[in-house]
Amino acid sequence: MTNHLVLDGVTRRFGSHTALDGVSFTLPTGSICGLLGRNGAGKTTLLSLIAGQDLPSAGTVHINGHSPFEHAPTLAEINLVRDNQRYPDDFTVRNVLTIAPRFLPHWDARFARQLAAGFRVPLDQSVKKFSRGQLSAVAIVLGLASRAPLTLMDEPYLGLDVNARRYFHEALVRDVAEHPRTVILSTHHVEESESLFDRVLIVDSGRILLDADIEEIPDLAFTVSGRDDAIRELTVGMEVLRLQTVPGLASATIRGTADDAFLARADAVGARIQGVSVADLVTALGSDSAAEAVAA
Ligand SMILES: Nc1ncnc2c1ncn2[C@@H]1O[C@H](COP(=O)(O)OP(=O)(O)OP(=O)(O)O)[C@@H](O)[C@H]1O
């Protein structure tokens, strides 16, 4: 599998603020990658750079060996869908779907109509009058039906009801299986969407905290819960990513795997071991308490 997207040392400064700080990763063709992290982490900044809509202050972005910035053949292969997508005044969805293929060379009109029907989007109503969820649905239709080899979706869920979110997930997985392409999906709906991902990038304060295949997640961390004093004693010398306590009880998220000796010690004090989900990792790695917990 070839590397579709390669970022090397990408930094983006806005005045004195560093929104991205030396970001490097590669993404193979055909991934569905979750781009996750707290508010202000740098996700939108990163997607804008990958989409060639902005230039890094330092470092390089390459898509199939080309910088996307002002490189028309590369830009034609990318579609970035934003939560605040704008449409010309008085455009209906029918107008949007008609004009889309002019900008999106891989556009599938039949699929677009099918998706619009699936989301129950009224085709002949002015997009200006749409609800927040309907606007998100139109953006998702544009994202999916574009079949862009590099499809970027920046928090496409705003206002979408649970049925629409499920419909989106099913359509995404089915269509990417039938028409392989690279998708980066930035979202705060981590629990709902993590089953989509084969790759996960977690960003915080402009840095990549985690770049992992989904199969690697179970080996990255685990949680141990039980009596507060027992958990603190058990985890001495371990890298505690997050420590949650209620009076008398504690739950610690620990980096790495629990070896047999640890399992035996945990068992002896009645502590419970569990695997982590992607959502647990996003919370633990972005947690302000991680450093304090390590010190505790
Ligand atoms: N044009 C800009 N000028 C100044 N600062 C900016 C600009 N764009 C982004 N930033 C700052 O860069 C940081 C990263 O912003 P970004 O929008 O990339 O975060 P995000 O991860 O997408 O956040 P959210 O999940 O809240 O959408 C933030 O601190 C933001 O205020």
CATH number at residue 78: 3.40.50.300
Query: Total structural domains in the chain?
Result: 2
Residue 3, pLDDT score: 60
> If pLDDT is split at 50, 70 and 90, which confidence band does 289 have?
low
The average pLDDT across 148-154 equals 96
Calculate how far, in angstroms, residue 9's C-alpha sits from the geometric centre of ligand 1: 18
For atom 30 of ligand 1, the residue with the nearest CA is: 40
**Of the candidates 292, 254, 249, 294, the residue with the CA atom closest to the CA atom of residue 273:** 254
Instruction: Tell which of 187, 216, 245 closes a domain.
Output: 216
Give the structural domain span for 291: 220-295
**Residue of minimum CA distance from atom 1 in ligand 1:** 14
**Spatial separation of the C-alpha atoms in residues 192 and 2, rounded to whole Å:** 29
Residues with CB under 6 A from ligand 1: 14, 17, 19, 37, 39-45
Domain closes at, from 216, 238, 266: 216
Which residue is closest in CA terms to ligand 1's atom 14?
A: 42
Residues 162 and 276 in one domain: no
Co-location of 157 and 228 in the same domain: no
Phi and psi at residue 180, to the nearest 5°:
-60, 135
With 90 as the cut, is the pLDDT of residue 87 above it?
A: no
Q: Which range, of 2-11, 90-99, 143-152, averages the lowest pLDDT?
A: 2-11
Residue written as token pair 């898509």: 63
What is the H or E stretch that residue 220 is in?
A: none
257-278 pLDDT, tens digit each? 999 999 999 999 999 999 999 9
93 CA from centroid of ligand 1 (Å): 30
How confident is the prediction for the chain on average, in pLDDT? Answer: 92
Do 62 and 207 have their domain in common?
A: yes
Q: pLDDT tens digits, residue range 47-78?
A: 999 999 999 999 999 999 999 999 999 999 99
What is the CATH classification number for the domain harbouring 283? 3.30.70
State in Å: Cα 45 to ligand 1 middle. Answer: 6
How far is Cα 105 from Cα 148, in angstroms, rounded to an integer?
8
End-of-domain residue from the set 192, 216, 240 = 216
Has the ipTM of the complex gone over 0.90? yes
Q: Take atom 6 of ligand 1 and give the residue whose Cα is closest.
A: 14
